[in-house]
Structure 1
C-alpha cells in the first residue's frame, strides 16, 4: 500500500501543486487530534461510573494518577437518621374511650441504607394498643426511601383533655466503609384528646305561687360528671315582665365531680303568664363554648290585700306572746301570801294594843279598891264613885282609833271628878 501510494505520488508529482500537499497534512493532523480527544472522554466517563457505584459505601475510587495505578479513599459519610414525615389519627380529635387508626410514614435521611430495623409505638398513660402488637420489624430501608405503618390504638376513658403524646422508637443498623454501626431515635407524636361534655344542669325549680311586685327565687342544681374541668361558667335570666337586680352571675370554673346550685332572684311586674329564660354559658374541657337554655312560663297573680288585725287579735297575740301562765300563777300566789302576812301582822299589833289598854283599866280599878274611901250613903263602894265621875261606862274600852292614847285612868285623875282617886288626893 505504501509503495502504491508512493508510486501514485510520484506519478502525480509533476502535476500536483505544493499547497495541496500541505492541506492534506493539516487534515490528517485534525483527524488524529479528534481521535485522541474521544479516547480521553471515554476514560473520564468510566471514572465517573466507578465513583457513583461506590457511593453507597462511602468510598470513591479515582483514575490512576500519572499512570501509577494508586487509589484514594475519602472520609465516611454521616450516620443515617430516620424521621417521621407525616402521620394521621382519623380526625380532628380523639374522644376519650374511642379507638382510632394511627398511621405514620418514616424516611431514611442518610446516605447509606439501614438494616435490621425495629419500630416500637408507646402510648404512655393516655393511649393503649387496641389489639395486636406495638412492635414492628423491617429488614432494610434504602437511603432516601420511605415506609408507612398503621397501628390501631385507643384513648383511655380517663385520658386528659388536650394534646397527649405518643412515642415512636426506631432501632436500626447500617454499614459504612465495610464497618457495621447502629443507631436509635425516639420521635414523639401529638394527638388531641377530647372528653365528652357531661356538665349537667337540672330544670329550674319555680315557686308554686308568684305575686306581682314580690321578689321570688328560682334555683337550678348542676354537677360536672365529666373527667375534665369546665371554665367561665355564667348564668343569665331574662324575660318581659320581670325585673332582676343581678341578671348575670359569674360562677367561674367547675372542677370534675363538683356540684352546686344557681339562684336567680327576680320580681314579677305584671300578672298572668310571664315568659322567662335562664341561660348557662361555659367552656368545655376542649375550650369550646357551650350554651344551655331553659325557657319557663311563670304564672303571676295579684298580690293579696294586707290584713288589718283587730283588737281581739291583738289581745290574743299578746296573750300568745306574753308571759307564760305558770309565771302568772306564781305571781298571784306570792301577792296573796304578802297580803295575808300584812293582815296577820296588823291583827297582832291590834291585839297587843288592846291587851295593854285592858291592863291599864285593871290597874286603875285595883287602885280605887285599895283606897277604902267612904261610901256615898247608898251602899255604893268605890266602884260607884267611878260611875259618878261623869265618864260613860262604854268609854272604858278604847276604840281602834284611840289605841295609841294613854290609859283611861288618866281621865279619872282629871280635876272635878268625884273619883276615889280624887278623894285619896284630898285626904
Structure 2
C-alpha cells in the first residue's frame, strides 16, 4: 500500500510538469519571429592550401539560439596580397545552405599562416532586427617552391691551361630547381683584376630566362694578363634572381668560385716563395676557452729569406661561429727584415659554436703574391649537447681520401659520409668544402658544394674531386667541411696527409722524411669486445723518395676520447711493451709491428683512439738531423657484450580458475657493464585476456633487476599457451628481442546450488510480500498521461489558429 501511495505522488508531479512545459512553449513561440539569430560556424575553422592553387571553399553555419531564421548576408576578406578571394554578394534564406568562395593562392606565396575574416549579418524571421558577427578562419599556406632555387650547376673553362695573353671562355650552366619560370636572372662575374683577367667582349652582368626544371647557359670571354702568379687563379660568379616576375628586386642570390688552371710566367730569382715567412710559435693566454671566454692569441712570424719583405699581412679567419675578434682588428700589416722575427697579439672571445675540445683558428700570412694559411690549436670547453640550441643533428661520421699522400698537382678524391641523427627528415641541406682557393687545394672539376635531402636515421656519401696546390706547407693540412641545414651551420675539419714542397736553403733540404701509418688491423671482427684482448698489427711507411729514417722509436699509447666527459683510456698493452725500435727505414719502404692489447671492461661502446708516436733521425747532404716528434692517431671501435638474463614466467602454485584473475611474473637482469635501453614487455596468446598487453619499463642500469607483473584472466578451461616478448636496445644501439613461452591449465569453478555460502544447511527460498498489482497501476497511469497530452496539444493548436486569424485581419 505504501508503494502505491508513492507512485500516485510521483504521477501527480509529472502531470503538473507537462502542463507547465506546454504553456512555456506557447509563450516562447511568440519570440521566434522577432529575436535575431545568433550564428555559429560549423566544422573546423582552419584551412590548408598550397601555393599556386585555386580552390572552392565551403562554410556551413548553424543557429546557436534555436530561433527561427530569416536570412543572412556574408563577406569573406583577407589582409594578404598572396590570397585572392572571388566572392559574389551572398544572401541566403536557408541557414542549412553552404556559403562558398573561390580562394586563389599566388604561385610565389611563402609558407605562412593568414587570418581570413568571415563577416555575417543575420536577420530575424520578421526582418525587423539583425545580429552582426565575424569569424576568424586560419589559412595555412604551404609553399610549393623548393628552397634550393636557381643554382649554378656547373662551369667549363675552354682551355685546360691558360697562359698570359690567351683568350678563353668560361661557360656557366644554370639549373632551375623551382616549380615556376624564372625571368631576368642576373649572373655577375666578380673579382676581375686588370693584372690577371679582363673581359674580351660583353659585360660582367648578363641576364637569362629559364623555364621551370630547365637549364640555361651563359658564356664569358676573357683575356689572361701577365699578372697571373698562381697555377690556379680564381674569379667569382654571383647569381641573383627573384621568385616574383612582377618585382624588380633580386632578393635571392648565391655565389660560386671559378678555378682557372694557369701557367704563369717563370718567376724571377727575387720572387717570394711560400716559405719566406713562417709561423714559428703561437701561445694562447687561456688554458680552456668556452663560450664568452676572452683570451689573447699571440703569433710569432719569422722571415726565413735572404731579403727584407715589405707590405706583408697576417690575419685571423674568424666568422663568429666558434671565435670572434673581441677588440681591435683581425689583421695586422707589417714589414720584416731578413732573419728577423715579429710577434702579433689578437684579442679574441669564444662563441657558442665551440663543439670540440680542440678547435683551430686559421692564421693567414700574405706577402707579394704568396698567401699561406697555418692553424693555431685552442683547447676548448664545448657546450653540452643538451644545452646547445643548435644541436648537431646532421654530422660528418667519416671521411677518406683515395691517396695516402697529397703533393702539388696530386689529383685525389675526398669522400665524406654524413648521418642524420635527428628524429625527422632534413630537406634542402648543403655540404660545402671551404678554403679551396687554389693556395693549398682546389676543386679539380665541378663545384665545391652539393645540396641534398636526407631521411631520419639515414646516411649519405659525397665525393669531391680535388687537386693539391703549391701552397702545401705542412705534412697535415685541413679542409673544412661545412654542413648547412634548418638555419644551423656546423663545420668539421678533414685532415689530409701531405708532402710539402722541398725548399733549398744554402744547398740543404729543410724537410725531414715523412713517416705514416699505411695500414692497421685489430683482428678478424669489425670491432673489439670490452674486457677481451685482441691482436694489433701496424704497418709503417717512409714516404720519402730519397731520405732514410734512422733510429726510429715507435710508442703506442691508449688515449681518452677527444670529446665528452669520459677520461678513461680504453686500450692498454697486454703483457707486452708499448715501445718498438727500428735501426733504419729505407725510402718508400715499410715496417711492421705487432702486439697484444687489452680493452677496458667498463668502457662504453664507442670508437676509442690509440696514439702512435714517432721519434727518429735522418741525414741529408751529409748533415745529421733529428726530426720533430710526430704523432699519429688511429681509432678502434669497441662494443660491450650483451649479458641480459630473463627469468622464466612464474604461474601461481595454487592453480588457475576460469574467470578469475591471476598474476604472471618475471624479471629482467642486466649483468652487463653498460645500461640497456627502451625495454618493453608485451604478452600474447590464446585462452586468456590480459589487463595490459604491453608495458614500457624504460632503461635498466648495469647490475640491476627490473620486475614485470601482468594480470591474466582465463576465458576457457583446459590448457592455454602464451608468450612474453621482451624487446630492448643494447649498449651498442642494436635492437634485441626475446620470446618466453608459458603454459597454464585452467579449471571451471564449481558451485553446489543447494549449499549456502557458509556450507551449513539448505538454501531458504525468499518470502514474497503481497501488495497491490503494480502492472495494473502502471497501465492506468500511462493511459491518463496520454489523454492529458492530447488535450494540451488541441488547446495549443486552437490558440495558434486564433492568433493567426488576428494577424491576417491586421494585414487587411
- 1:81 alignment partner in structure 2: 514
Structure with max Cα Rg: 1
Segments of 5+ residues of structure 1 without an aligned counterpart are 1-57, 61-71, 314-427
In 2, the alpha carbon distance for the partners of 1:184 and 1:122 equals 15
- Pick from 575, 596, 601 the counterpart of residue 152 of structure 1: 596
Q: What does residue range 94-173 of structure 1 map to in structure 2 within 5 Å? A: 94-111=528-545, 112-124=547-559, 125-173=569-617
In 2, the alpha carbon distance for the partners of 1:264 and 1:59 equals 79
SS of 1:104's equivalent?
strand
- Computed over aligned residues only, the root mean square deviation of the Cα atoms, in angstroms, reads 2.7
Does 1:192 pair with 2:627?
no
SS of 1:263's equivalent?
strand
Cα pair 1:220 1:263 within 8 Å, conserved: yes
Deviating more after overlay: 209-218 vs 234-243? 209-218
In 1, the alpha carbon distance for the partners of 2:659 and 2:517 equals 70
Does 1:183 pair with 2:616?
no
Cα pair 1:78 1:110 within 8 Å, conserved: no
In 1, the alpha carbon distance for the partners of 2:760 and 2:744 equals 39
In 1, the alpha carbon distance for the partners of 2:624 and 2:517 equals 26
Cα pair 1:59 1:73 within 8 Å, conserved: no
- 1:224 alignment partner in structure 2: 670
- Which structure: greater strand fraction? 2
In 2, the alpha carbon distance for the partners of 1:311 and 1:160 equals 65
- 1:69 alignment partner in structure 2: none
Does 1:301 pair with 2:717?
no
- Post-superposition offset of 1:97: 2.7
User: Structure 1 segments of 4 or more deviating over 6 A?
Assistant: 310-313
In 2, the alpha carbon distance for the partners of 1:73 and 1:193 equals 51
- Post-superposition offset of 1:169: 1.1
In 2, the alpha carbon distance for the partners of 1:180 and 1:77 equals 10
- TM-score, scaled to structure 2: 0.28
In 2, the alpha carbon distance for the partners of 1:151 and 1:224 equals 33
In 2, the alpha carbon distance for the partners of 1:283 and 1:191 equals 22
- Post-superposition offset of 1:75: 6.2
SS of 1:128's equivalent?
strand
- Post-superposition offset of 1:138: 0.9
In 2, the alpha carbon distance for the partners of 1:168 and 1:59 equals 28
In 2, the alpha carbon distance for the partners of 1:310 and 1:217 equals 28
- Pick from 281, 293, 303 the counterpart of residue 727 of structure 2: 281
Cα pair 2:554 2:612 within 8 Å, conserved: yes
- Post-superposition offset of 1:59: 9.2
In 2, the alpha carbon distance for the partners of 1:310 and 1:222 equals 43
- Which structure: greater helix fraction? 1
- Pick from 208, 212, 236 the counterpart of residue 658 of structure 2: 212
Cα pair 2:508 2:620 within 8 Å, conserved: no
- TM-score, scaled to structure 1: 0.52
- Post-superposition offset of 1:274: 0.3
Cα pair 1:59 1:74 within 8 Å, conserved: no
- Post-superposition offset of 1:205: 1.2
CA 1:77–1:305 in 2, change beyond 3 Å: closer, same or farther?
farther
In 1, the alpha carbon distance for the partners of 2:683 and 2:629 equals 61
Question: What do the CA deviations read for 1:133-174 (whole angstroms, capped 9, x no partner)?
Answer: 111111122332221111111223333333222221111122
